[in-house]
Amino acid sequence: MKKTILLFITALLFNSCKKESQETIPSKRVNYFDLVRPEFNGDLAYKTTAYVEQFWRVVGNTGFNNSIHKIVEELEKSGYILEENATEDNRLTYRIETRKLDSPTWEPVDASLSIDGGKTLLDFSTNRNMICQNSASTPTEGIIADVIYIKNIEELKNTNVEGKIVFAEVHPRALYQKAIIKGKALGILTYSNPDYLQPKKNKTSIQFRRIPIQDNTKHWGIALSYEAKEQLKEALNNGNVSTNVKINTKIYQSEELTVVANVKGSVYPNESLVFSAHVQEPGANDNATGVGTQLEMASITSKLITSGKIDAKRTLTFLWGDEIISTRRYVKEIDNSKTIKWGISLDMVGENTDKTGGSFLIEKMPDPSAIWTRGNDKHTEWGGKQLRKKDMTPHYLNDFIINTFKEQGKFANWEVNTNPFEGGSDHTPFLRADIPGLLLWHFTDQFYHTDNDRLDKVSQTTMANVGTSALVSAYTLINSDFGTALDLLDTSYNSAVSRLNIEYELSKKALSDGSDFKNEADILNTWTEWYIDTFDTLKDLDPTNNKTLNTSIKETKKKLENYSLTLLDKLKS
């Protein structure tokens, strides 16, 4: 009996020591770059981009739906099984979600704009953004009418435009209601290309525009290139001008299609990382490259999972749909038993920056650079508003993604930059649902949203760099554990020290330029608090709730607080 008790106690002690050892010894780290780089050559990404960019894509129209079916075709080739046909053992699945659209879809077919009896100003074959989205068709022979130029919207109050075509250098949204609805104009011609598109250089570019959805009306609008705008103004300077407008579009009831592909987690299937790439918009970089890059990411993931080279402890999801709308719905409708831990948007990820300008960017989750934007932090020409302290979302995802992409940048001699939070893409639904989320994109792009955003502006190499970095990031996160958390704690602390040093130097200069110490101290303190709160978020990487991690976080917090106080003392003196 005594011997039995002794053996039982020995076993308990052994299991206790074994459990403690498992908690405190980090698992061996996998170098995912070594696995992904040889696989990601960008071929599938580029071929998919070439297929998708040929279409003018609005949710529900032919081009959008063809793109969705192309995605599904490639997913099936890569081994993904339709959910309804899958068994419990099938980890790679996909589904197509179908919903009736509340409003009809729209697609352009053909158009031309010419001075009556004279010069053709625009033709759809070379300016496929010339028709404002939702415009109705004109009669086959076109509409011939006098053009009235107005310098500003206010002029419409005293100008009779009934039965005329109104031309103004404003956004069609500002002109439509007053010129067409109230003024009973036949249609509108508008020009509103922003300066960052370099319109005097890119004279034929037209940034796509839209007017309200047509139901029982026949309203239309034409967006002008810089060249067409100048030619029309010159003609008007020489006297009265009539134009012939021919528009052929399709407006019809349709369905919204969304593709969701899943790699089911082997250990924590209800926790996930979600990549989202929107299909709509007519460009190549925006966003055929996001569609294509994400598809190759899904294909490579299938190959690595099937071959046993990697595991996915948590679920990895790839979503293709309508920008913001599909992602927001997915986040809202996800089963309450499931948790999205991270969300990443791929939008304009394949640019040849030698042609488009700008650089690759990681748009950060809201951090203090979106309150005080200074030093190397700069908003893009897309624009961003100043945030407040209550808008901050401290999280390790920012620095983790930045460091991972910088590693690929160093390896491939590829420029990686960041910008403060601005919003406007598929990362925003994640953030609004309190899910860590950020954006992978490019800006400034001199062809952004224009009909010159075509395949010749796309770089297969860039797509491979973005896709490689994104997959390495994803594999690290979905397989994260106690050891990953410790690694990222060091990364976050080093990033915090680097940021505080930068802010210290900026504040020191600001003080010499007359700034108030209280204001500069507030900046340093806010960054310190942001990182201290960031350290706590690392706990979600460790499902075992390891005591060693909690202790390390407490110690790291204290270390950063002391470092921050040292900088404040130096700044004050």
Q: Which residue has the tokens 């029309």?
A: 232
Residues 6+ apart with CB under 8 A from 54: 63
Do residues 32 and 301 touch, judged by C-beta distance below 8 A? no
How do residues 325-346 score in pLDDT, each as one tens digit? 999 999 999 887 899 999 999 9
Residue 289 backbone phi and psi in degrees, to 5? -70, -35
Q: Rounded to an integer, what distance in angstroms lies between the CA atom of residue 38 and that of residue 35?
A: 6
Q: Which amino acid is at 297?
A: M
Do residues 327 and 321 touch, judged by C-beta distance below 8 A? yes
Torsion over CA of 463, 466, 467 and 469, rounded to 10 degrees? 150
Q: What's residue 7's pLDDT?
A: 40
Q: What's residue 13's pLDDT?
A: 40
Whole-Å CA distances, 381 to 195, 344, 428: 9, 22, 18
Q: What H or E segment, with its residue span, contains residue 487? A: helix 482-512
Q: Rounded to an integer, what distance in angstroms lies between the CA atom of residue 15 and that of residue 5?
A: 15
Do residues 538 and 488 touch, judged by C-beta distance below 8 A? yes
Q: What's residue 335's pLDDT?
A: 86
The sign of the CA dihedral 543, 547, 548, 553 is positive
Q: What's residue 44's pLDDT?
A: 98
Q: What's residue 25's pLDDT?
A: 45
Binned average pLDDT, 10 residues per bin, the chain of 573 residues: 38 41 52 98 98 98 98 98 96 97 96 94 98 97 97 93 97 93 96 97 98 91 98 96 97 97 98 98 97 98 98 98 97 90 98 97 98 96 94 98 98 98 97 97 97 98 98 98 96 98 98 96 98 98 92 98 97 91
Residue 361: count of CB within 10 angstroms of its CB? 22
Q: What's residue 337's pLDDT?
A: 80
Q: Which of 154, 197, 202, 201 is nearest to 179 (CA)?
A: 154
Q: Which of 471, 531, 520 is nearest to 498 (CA)?
A: 531
Residues 6+ apart with CB under 8 A from 449: 129, 207, 208, 281, 283, 286
Q: Rounded to an integer, what distance in angstroms lies between the CA atom of residue 55 and that of residue 281?
A: 9
Length of the chain: 573
Encode 529-565 in three state secondary structure: HHHHHHHHHHHHHCCCCCHHHHHHHHHHHHHHHHHHH
Q: Rounded to an integer, what distance in angstroms lies between the CA atom of residue 524 and that of residue 519?
A: 9
Do residues 458 and 350 touch, judged by C-beta distance below 8 A? yes
Q: Rounded to an integer, what distance in angstroms lies between the CA atom of residue 60 and that of residue 416?
A: 35
Q: Rounded to an integer, what distance in angstroms lies between the CA atom of residue 519 and that of residue 500?
A: 15
What's the token pair of residue 239? 């006297």
What's the token pair of residue 285? 């970089």
Q: Rounded to an integer, what distance in angstroms lies between the CA atom of residue 158 and that of residue 154?
A: 8
Do residues 45 and 346 touch, judged by C-beta distance below 8 A? no
How do residues 131-179 score in pLDDT, each as one tens digit? 999 999 999 999 999 999 999 999 999 999 999 999 999 999 889 999 9
Classify 165 as helix, strand or coil: strand
